Amino acid sequence: MLNPQPGGRYVDGTLGAGGHAAGLLEASAPDGCLLGLDVDPAAIELVRKRLEPFAERAFLRQASYTTLPEQLQDLGWRQVDGILLDFGVSSMQLDAAERGFSFQADAPLDMRFDPGQELSAADLVNELPEAELADLIYRYGEERQSRQIARAIVRSRPLETTWQLAGVVAQAAGRQRSGQRIHPATRTFQALRIQVNRELEAVETVLPLAAAALAPGGRLAVIAFHSLEDRLVKEFIRRESRDCLCPPRQPVCTCGHRASLVDVTHRPLQATAEEIARNPRSRSARLRVAEKKS
């Protein structure tokens, strides 16, 4: 969908383990270039080794994709031909037990993409007032039992590890019912991770920056893993694909808005059954693509 070409310039704003970055560099050989961004220093180190065969064409920076204009300016790139954003936690981070993103192993309540930032999940769990904690779990985890869960967390403080938190949440929400696909603590962990890393704010910030950085005909591809992110992406592409944002009944346009993007996918693309069998984590992925108007 990104249609990489030789000589093109591309951005992977969420490097992770570097699979997408390597694919873009292979497809844009022999002289396509890539800017790779990630706030996680472990990702930068891992990807630097993975991309050694493309070293002269890959520019890696430990930085947030919200700094995209500054990063492009530093390279002297005015516009790019494609941008990929793969939101959420990476498999590499989930599998590193000590990072505290998952309750599959007992670990400190951390969940920071950037280990250098101050706020951690433990800070939220142990310091937020009950009402604020409940609101957070409901808003970002879409958890209907957020009030019971927040009450149980406050009563059980201090909580320092993933297993401690998962146990308290499971007790408050009711243990996993027969046929239920996810653990009762999954949504609470998601909510805490989103707040720790201010993920939705970052999504809202980067989408217009990415659209502005595209050359005419360039494409923006966004992969989201839950409805909150996907809704922001859908609404952004829908808005920027329209010439007028005035209310439908208004007879004359007064907003002056002009479409800057073309919606390529219209509906999100999802993983096939074959891909899900190979990679169960792709089950929730939604891919949307937009193209910069010429």
Q: What is the pLDDT of residue 204?
A: 97
- Output 90-98 pairs: Cβ under 8 A, ≥24 positions apart: 90/14, 90/16, 90/17, 90/40, 90/43, 91/16, 91/17, 91/281, 92/16, 92/17, 92/42, 92/43, 92/46, 93/40, 96/42
Q: What is the pLDDT of residue 178?
A: 45
Strand partners, 248: none
Q: What is the pLDDT of residue 38?
A: 96
Handedness of CA 232, 123, 15, 67 (dihedral sign): positive
Q: Per residue in 189-214, pLDDT tens?
A: 999 999 999 999 999 999 999 999 99
Nearest in space to 10 (alpha carbons), one of 30, 29, 36: 36
Q: What is the pLDDT of residue 58?
A: 97
| Angle, helix 186-197 to helix 199-213, in steps of 10 degrees | 60
User: What's the count of helices (H) and strands (E) in the chain, helices before strands?
Assistant: 12, 7
Nearest in space to 27 (alpha carbons), one of 48, 11, 47, 5: 5
The answer to whether 159 touches 138, Cβ cutoff 8 Å, is: no
* Residue 292, helix vs strand vs coil: strand
Question: What pTM value is reported for the model?
Answer: 0.91
Q: What is the pLDDT of residue 175?
A: 61
- Joined together, the tokens standing for residue 293 give 């108007």
Calculate the alpha carbon distances from 237 to 151, 253, 256, 261, 265 in Å.
39, 20, 17, 7, 10
What is the edge-to-edge ordering of all strands in the sheet holding 80-86?
58-62, 33-38, 9-12, 80-86, 214-224, 286-292, 261-263
Interatomic CA distance for residues 282 and 276, integer angstroms: 6
Q: What is the pLDDT of residue 179?
A: 52
Q: What is the pLDDT of residue 31?
A: 96
Sort 98 into a burial class: Cβ within 10 Å, 0-12 / 13-18 / 19+: exposed
Given the structure tokens 């949307």, which residue do they identify? Answer: 288
Q: What is the pLDDT of residue 180?
A: 62
Q: What domains appear along the chain, each with residue ranges and CATH number?
A: 9-86+199-292 (3.40.50.150), 96-197 (1.10.150.170)
The answer to whether 15 touches 36, Cβ cutoff 8 Å, is: yes
Handedness of CA 129, 135, 138, 139 (dihedral sign): negative
Strand partners, 35: 11, 59
| Angle, helix 130-141 to helix 146-156, in steps of 10 degrees | 130
Q: What is the mean pLDDT of each run of 10 residues along the chain (294 residues)?
A: 97 95 97 97 94 95 97 98 93 82 92 94 98 97 95 97 96 67 90 96 98 98 95 97 88 89 97 94 95 95
DSSP annotation of 66 reads: G
Q: What is the pLDDT of residue 171?
A: 93
Q: Is residue 30 reached through a cis peptide bond, with omega within 30 degrees of 0 on the bond before it? A: yes
Q: Per residue in 130-179, pLDDT tens?
A: 999 999 999 999 999 999 999 999 999 999 999 999 999 999 987 655 45
